[in-house]
Chains A and B, each alone.
Chain A
Amino acid sequence: MTKRIFRGMLIVCAVVLIASVAMIEGILYDYFSRKSVQELHYEAAYIAAGIETSGEAYLENLTQSESRITWIDTDGSVLYDSEKDAAQMENHAQREEVRSAFETGTGEVTRLSSTMAEATTYYAIRLDDGTVLRVSFTSYTLVTLILAVLQPMIIVLVISLILAFILASRISKSIVEPINRVDLQNPEEAEVYEEITPLLSRIARQNREINRQMDELETNRREFEEITGNMKEALVIVDHETHILSCNKSAHKLFGSSENDIGKSVFTLSRNEHFMQCVESALRGENCENTLMLGDRVYQIIASPVTGVQETMGAMLLLFDVTEQQSRDQLRREFTANVSHELKTPLTSISGFAEIISKGYVKAEDVPRFADNIYKESQRLITLVEDIIRLSRLDENAVNLERENIALADMAEHVVSRMQSTAAKRSIEIETNLQPAFVEGVPQVMDEMMFNLIDNAIKYNKEGGKVTVTVDVEDGHPVFRVQDTGIGIPAGEQERVFERFYRVNKSHSKTIGGTGLGLSIVKHGALLHHARIELNSELNVGTTISIIF
């Protein structure tokens, strides 16, 4: 811009300079040549008057005139010439100015010299005696004049142009400088020419718009990253050439990759057959689900295509850990199998006894014994079904969850009194150490928990053993504890005793009774009360189970 302004100014200067010089030259030339012609006229008139009064003698005395003076006789012969010998000169009668003077009294003609460098103006006047006086002067022509002044003119021009150059450069800079100084971040604050104010305000508006959009994009990006970053599931987004576009933290953790892997092929993450298949079918535009084994974990892959206007632009892969879900499924399958088995055993006995009786194979005196067996088995069945119902109620939180303040000591005493007879059968002594402790809880569930724990302590005790039931407050937490002197639980199985139908000694289940669901009920009850279960057990010494609320 500076350059352009500068160039413009320089050109204007040069054109104006040259034009004005040329015009002045023309005007001056015109003025001076007219002036000299006029002087010529005066001079001719003056000399004519002189001649008429003094005759030729006047001419002889006239030596100071710059002009050439010629006196021509009526026949055209030259009488006198101020520069040449009159006798030598040819007849001037046919000269245009002379002829015109003879005819009209005056005559004027300008003739260029042979070189065109000079122009001679002749002025002739007829005297009273019929002779003609001719005065002429020679001047330079315009071209000669221009050529003559060319050198000084060029010097003047050059000096002016240099001046113009310096000024133009300064001025153009000073014009542009404020524009350059404009802070494009805050264009509206700049105080420059009002002509560009609309431009600046427009820039400012667009700046704001751009900033807003950038902020929005940044917020979106950060939101996306925040959301995907905190996702437990691994999320990988790939383009149609399998290059990774985005990979969240979980995915990096899962594949052991880093930010550096973004942009590489997704197959660098895993070359697992299922994984590759899923990616490829997603890129073909089909949804795909599969499982992926990585180490000892099982992941579910969900791959979905990202479709653009027409074709698939990429794919989105979602991976999540289904190891626990799979093991839960496994547990559920085992549970179903266990339930069926546990239910079937007593039913088989009942059906068997009943069949024998109905067929009449049993002696009359044996019938009560068989009936007793049937009764016992059905009781066992009922207990089992009740336990299952209780458990599933706990599972689904379907029990009446109205909580009330429970005095643990009172409840424990009540439960112990119910158990005394059972304990006595095996000559087991129940010792109680009941301190006042209160828990906000569901009485029905709490009762079941206590019952199951004490029942276990009796069942898995040795003949003549001891059961200690304690209610206390420890470290501010109410504690219910049952300690026995029984067979104990092997260290390796202590984790599993809370599983449904789990039995340490599977072969003794029938003699001891029980459903294998007791501790499971206790566990769920504790969960319901947000309580913690502590199990300490030593084989053949005894088991202590504490519920800490």
Chain B
Amino acid sequence: MRNRFDSQLEQLNTELIKMGALCEEAISAAAKAFLDSDRTLVEKVRRVDHEIDQAEHDIETLCIKLLLRQQPVATDLRVISSALKMISDMERIGDQASDIAEITRFLPAESSKSASHIGDMARATINMVTDSVESFVKKDLDLARQVIVNDNKVDDLFLQVRQELIAGIQTQGDKGAYWVDLLMIAKYMERIGDHAVNIAEWVEYSITGIHKNNEGQL
């Protein structure tokens, strides 16, 4: 019975790694679609997002099965409950990557993206997602905390990009829609960064038993 439980936990871990990898794929592809104006990637992002949704559903079922049938305690319970939380953040990352790709379809290919810091922001966001998944895979507490700190960088970049976009609207008011789209993409990326932070916090919780929002209560 115990062995079966262990192997199911192991399966949960593997599934989570796969879902994390899908998230990395989705955000990388969405950013590439946006930065390189590569519209062929839009379809791929949509497909990956669909896979992510499927993975969320599967992992959720697995978690609930584990909770009901095995009634885990202590570390096992923590691992499963943080998995449940993590997948909803991962699923959001997938959705937002898909949203970015969707907006990209209607952006003019030639644009002044390079002038703004939005490219830096995309790269920083991808790194955050990669690092948060990596911290889960390697159970690396330091890396998880690093991700939480790195979010400030993305937030700063977002403010910077926002300023640039406002300036863009002021000077090139005729292309207002374009600038608003860019702003939305930037906002999505900023949100993805937040989700990466959430994942990192759940990684921290599953390792230490202390969640940032409930310090001392658990």
Contacts and interface: CB of A to CB of B under 8 A. Distances in A.
A241 B11 contact: yes
A268 B21 contact: no
Bin chain B's interface residue count. 10 to 19
B137 interface: yes
A267 interface: yes
Given A265-B13, A265-B14, A271-B17, A241 B7 contact: yes
A242 interface: yes
B89 interface: no
B20 interface: yes
A271 B137 CA distance: 10
B138 A268 contact: yes
Contacts of B21: 267, 271-273, 276
B18 interface: yes
3 closest A-B pairs by CB: A271-B21, A265-B14, A267-B17
Most buried by B among A241, A242, A271, A272: A271
A267 B18 contact: yes
A477 B137 CA distance: 57
A242 B137 CA distance: 14
A276 B17 CA distance: 10
Contacts of B138: 268
A267 B25 contact: no
Given A268-B137, A271-B133, A241 B25 contact: no
Nearest to B134: A271
A241 B10 contact: yes
Interface in A235-281: 241-243, 265, 267-268, 271-273, 276
A125 to B, nearest CB: 94
A276 to B, nearest CB: 6
Interface string B12-44: 011001101100110000000000000000000
Nearest to B28: A273
Contacts of B18: 267, 276
Interface residues of A, number: 10
B144 to A, nearest CB: 15
> Helix, strand, loop or mixed for chain B's interface?
helix
Interface string B119-134: 0000000000000010
A479 to B, nearest CB: 52
A271 B20 contact: yes
Contacts of A273: 21, 25
Given A241-B14, A267-B137, A271-B20, 4 more contacts: A243-B10, A268-B17, A271-B21, A272-B21
B97 to A, nearest CB: 14
A271 B131 CA distance: 12
A529 B53 CA distance: 64
> Helix, strand, loop or mixed for chain A's interface?
mixed
A267 B14 contact: yes
Contacts of A272: 21
Interface string B135-161: 001100000000000000000000000
A517 to B, nearest CB: 39
B14 A242 contact: yes
B126 to A, nearest CB: 13
Contacts of B133: 271
8 contacts: A241-B10, A241-B14, A267-B14, A271-B24, A271-B133, A271-B137, A273-B21, A273-B25
Contacts of A242: 14
Contacts of B137: 267-268, 271
B19 to A, nearest CB: 10
A295 to B, nearest CB: 14
A267 B14 CA distance: 7
A265 B9 CA distance: 12
Nearest to A280: B18
B34 to A, nearest CB: 19
Nearest to A242: B14
A259 to B, nearest CB: 15
A241 B10 CA distance: 9
Most buried by A among B7, B11, B14, B20: B14
A231 B17 CA distance: 29
Interface string A208-243: 000000000000000000000000000000000111
Nearest to A267: B17
A325 B18 CA distance: 31
A276 B55 CA distance: 15
Nearest to A272: B21
A243 B137 CA distance: 13
A265 B25 contact: no
B142 to A, nearest CB: 16
A265 B21 CA distance: 13
Nearest to B23: A271
A267 B22 CA distance: 12
Interface in A382-407: none
Contacts of A271: 17, 20-21, 24, 133, 137
Contacts of A265: 10, 13-14, 17
Nearest to A263: B10
B40 to A, nearest CB: 15
Contacts of B20: 271
Contacts of A267: 14, 17-18, 21, 137
Most buried by A among B11, B20, B24, B137: B137
A499 B20 CA distance: 45
